[in-house]
A and B are shown apart, each in its own frame.
Chain A
Amino acid sequence: GNSVTQMEGPVTLSEEAFLTINCTYTATGYPSLFWYVQYPGEGLQLLLKATKADDKGSNKGFEATYRKETTSFHLEKGSVQVSDSAVYFCALKHSSASKIIFGSGTRLSIRP
């Protein structure tokens, strides 16, 4: 079945460090891939998405490229800020289904 695996946290970095959060998926066909972010005390928000192979989603300095050959959608940011501290969820949606499948989430903490 469809599933998403993302790196376990917590991840702690210093401000301005480079960030990578790994995400790999298992799915048939060509799912759409997402990164959602949950800031403390808030609901989930869509951060970025990619709907086909080699697409790059980007938002707020974050990027992720849909790599079908490695079934990956790793999240990257060149220089993190304290305000990026949150929980990040990788997710997929198969074209034939209406529900989204989430990874387990990765908590990111940025030190000033």
Chain B
Amino acid sequence: GAVVSQHPSRVICKSGTSVKIECRSLDFQATTMFWYRQFPKQSLMLMATSNEGSKATYEQGVEKDKFLINHASLTLSTLTVTSAHPEDSSFYICSAWQGAPGANVLTFGAGSRLTVL
């Protein structure tokens, strides 16, 4: 079945540094990927829609300059948390549709836990 891989699964960084998280579709091409942030009480917030070859579409309230998204190929989207601060500590999850959105099955990565000291 379709697999979405995230790397790293865990990362710890110092405040003020930038961290890049990768999301790869391993056995299918994904023109669209989604980045979510999961808060401690488990709610899942959609941050942005990553579009291959074009700019990402950010949800209201998400800072574009803070969370840089690049979708340079059909199998890779990256999320860079710039100048990270402790409040950015969270669980970041990516997902992708296999094939056209009408396939109605969204495959998720296992998530990346970011801890900012």
Contact = CB atoms under 8 A, between A and B. Distances in A.
B60 to A, nearest CB: 11
- Of the candidates A38, A44, A51, the one having the most CB atoms from chain B within 10 angstroms of its own CB is A44
Contact of A49 (B97, B104, B111): B104
Interface in B73-92: none
A50 to B, nearest CB: 10
Interface residues of A, number: 24
Contacts of A105: 42-44
Interface residues of B, number: 23
Interface in B1-51: 4, 6, 32, 34, 36, 42-44, 46, 49
Nearest to A51: B104
B93 A102 contact: no
Interface of B: 4, 6, 32, 34, 36, 42-44, 46, 49, 93, 95, 97, 101-102, 104-111
A46 B110 contact: no
Given A87-B42, A98-B32, A98-B97, A43 B104 contact: no
Contacts of A44: 44, 93, 95, 108
B27 to A, nearest CB: 16
B113 to A, nearest CB: 10
A101 B46 contact: yes
A45 B93 CA distance: 12
Contacts of B49: 98-99
A43 B108 contact: yes
Contact of A99 (B4, B34, B42, B109): B34
Given A46-B106, A99-B49, 17 more contacts: A36-B108, A42-B110, A43-B4, A43-B6, A43-B111, A44-B93, A46-B105, A49-B105, A98-B49, A99-B46, A100-B46, A102-B36, A102-B44, A104-B42, A104-B43, A105-B43, A105-B44
A74 to B, nearest CB: 19
Contacts of A98: 32, 49, 97, 101
